[in-house]
Structure formats: C-alpha cells, structure tokens
C-alpha cells in the first residue's frame, strides 16, 4: 500500500521537474568520463550570484554523509570489497562535482568508530552545522536468504544477481519530511534521466523485515521512518542506496568512473533544483 504524498509536495515537484530542469542542461547528453558531468558547468564567479530561481549556490550547505566507517564497513561486495570503500569513492565524486558546479559549501562527512554511536554523531553534525540538505551515501546488498556462493580469485564469496538498481529512503518522522520527499523525488528523476533505474525489490513480501513502503513508484522513493539518520535530523535528509554491490555485474558498474560521473551529475542537478525550491 502506498501513502499519499502531500499535495503541495507533488505540485512543487511537478513544477520543478517540468520547468526548472530545462533552464540549463536538460538537452545535453549524459557526461563522458573525460568531460564535466551534466549540470556542473557553473564557475566560481557565477556561484557567488543567485540563480534565476534564487538559489545561492555558494552558501547552500550540502552534507554528504559517507555511510559506515573503516572500522565497521557495512556490506561486503560480491568480490569481497567493503561497502565503505564504495561509499567513500562515490561521496568524493559527488562532492567534487558539486564544488565544480558552484556549491562551495558542500562537505564530505566521514564518521569513524562504532556503528550506533556513529549514527548519532552524524545526526549531531547535520543539526549543529546546520546543513541545508543531508545525503547519506550507501551501496546495497540483500538479506542472507538471497545469497549464493561462487569462487572469485581463488576464494569463496557470496553474491546475489537477483536484483539491481538504486533506491531512495526518507523518514516521515523527519522534521522536514515534505522537503526530504521532494529532494528524493528530484534525485530519482535525475537518475532516471541519466538512464539509471531504481530497484522495486523492497516491496517484495520475501524481503520480510527489510520490506519497505514505496511512496513514489515513478522515482523509487521508499519510506523508512525509524532509521536514526533519517528520523532525527532536523533538516531535509535522504539515504541513497546507489546500487547493488552484491550483484556481480552491478558491482563492476558501481566501481567505474563512468557510473560515478552519471550519479554525481544527477545529484548535482537535483541539488540545484532543490536549492531553487527552498529559495522560493
């Protein structure tokens, strides 16, 4: 069952998605590795001036939360690489693209130490700064019961090729729930324009306790109310599972500069649209 989203959120998203995106780079082809990603063409001089929509890029604070830590690295990929390494590389790529697009206040958050303490530390940092937007960067796996075994580089490893794609999570208990949903929708739309698709498998009954409510089937936005980093932040916050690293083919894609550039471009365009919306 899907929850209905607030009419104001849907209306604002529709306006931004139909009109705002066409003002800059909508007609450009997806970025190639050797060129700047779509949406990152703003230079330092223009960043100091508000966009036509009123967005002051240089002062808009985007906190890129690198999921997990070196000590507690999260999931393990099909080839034995810790999720944290994927999260850090993608977070760095997104930060670089945002800075190049004029979002000078974008900041990468790396939180060492234990998992639960780290969750509260992330929330504290986001609220104290305060951030205008928090994006928690992760890569996905699957529950234990979907895993199979294969041999890679002479060693036994676990994998599951059943599911692929990204997913976006928000908490309706967040202090800025409507804005969180709006940004998730904008990012889902930009990812789709880059040729990327979300995974619907979180709606499956056999996901058991990891099953989530899909609140927007067009953009892949799921509801996850009780996750600390989503629930306890006082600013718009999403958790972004960028792709499945337990899927053998998608793991290779997620490691590539080409895929990272596409994702970074999508995030930057979504941030630009969201910043304009918040300036209204």
DSSP letter for each residue of 97-116: HHHHTT-TT-EEE---S-HH
Average pLDDT over residues 71-86: 97
Q: Is the pLDDT of residue 52 over 60?
A: yes
pLDDT digits (tens, 9 = 90+) for 188-225: 999 999 999 999 999 999 999 999 999 999 999 999 99
Alpha-carbon span 201 to 193, nearest angstrom: 21
The C-alpha R_g of the chain, in whole angstroms, comes to 18
pTM above 0.75, yes or no: yes
Poorest-confidence range of 8-12, 122-126, 225-229?
8-12
Alpha-carbon span 264 to 79, nearest angstrom: 24
Helix 83-100 vs helix 248-255: crossing angle, to nearest 10: 40
Q: Is the pLDDT of residue 14 over 60?
A: no
DSSP letter at 265 equals H
Q: Which pairs with CB-CB distance under 8 Å and at least 24 residues apart come from 142-150?
A: 142/201, 142/244, 142/246, 143/207, 143/208, 143/210, 145/206, 147/246, 150/78, 150/248
Domains of the chain, first to last: 64-279 (3.40.630.40)
Residue 7: predicted pLDDT: 46
H-helix or E-strand spanning residue 157: strand 155-159
pLDDT digits (tens, 9 = 90+) for 95-129: 999 999 999 999 999 999 888 888 999 999 999 99
Alpha-carbon span 153 to 10, nearest angstrom: 48
Q: Is the pLDDT of residue 34 over 70?
A: no
Q: Is the pLDDT of residue 254 over 70?
A: yes
């Amino acid at each position: 069952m899907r929850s209905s989203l607030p009419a104001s959120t849907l209306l604002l998203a529709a306006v931004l998605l139909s009109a705002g995106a066409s003002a800059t780079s909508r007609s450009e082809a997806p970025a190639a590795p050797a060129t700047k990603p779509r949406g990152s063409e703003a230079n330092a001089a223009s960043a100091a001036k508000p966009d036509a929509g009123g967005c002051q890029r240089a002062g808009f604070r985007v906190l890129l939360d690198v999921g997990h830590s070196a000590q507690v690295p999260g999931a393990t990929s099909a080839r034995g690489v810790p999720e944290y390494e994927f999260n850090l590389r993608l977070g760095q790529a997104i930060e670089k693209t945002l800075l190049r697009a004029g979002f000078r206040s974008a900041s990468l958050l790396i939180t060492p130490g234990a998992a639960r303490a780290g969750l509260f530390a992330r929330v504290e940092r986001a609220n104290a700064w305060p951030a205008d937007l928090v994006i928690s960067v992760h890569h996905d796996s699957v529950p234990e019961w979907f895993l199979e075994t294969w041999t890679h580089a002479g060693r036994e490893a676990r994998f599951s090729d059943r599911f692929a794609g990204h997913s976006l999570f928000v908490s309706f208990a967040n202090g800025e729930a409507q804005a969180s949903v709006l940004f998730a929708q904008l990012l889902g739309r930009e990812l789709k324009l880059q040729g990327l698709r979300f995974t619907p498998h979180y709606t499956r009954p056999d996901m058991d306790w990891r099953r989530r409510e899909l609140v927007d089937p067009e953009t892949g936005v799921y509801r996850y109310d009780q996750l600390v980093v989503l629930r306890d932040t006082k600013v718009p916050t999403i958790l972004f599972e960028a792709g499945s690293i337990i899927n053998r083919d998608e793991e290779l894609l997620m490691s590539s500069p080409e895929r990272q550039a596409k994702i970074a471009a999508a995030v930057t365009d979504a941030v630009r649209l969201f910043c304009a919306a918040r300036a209204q």
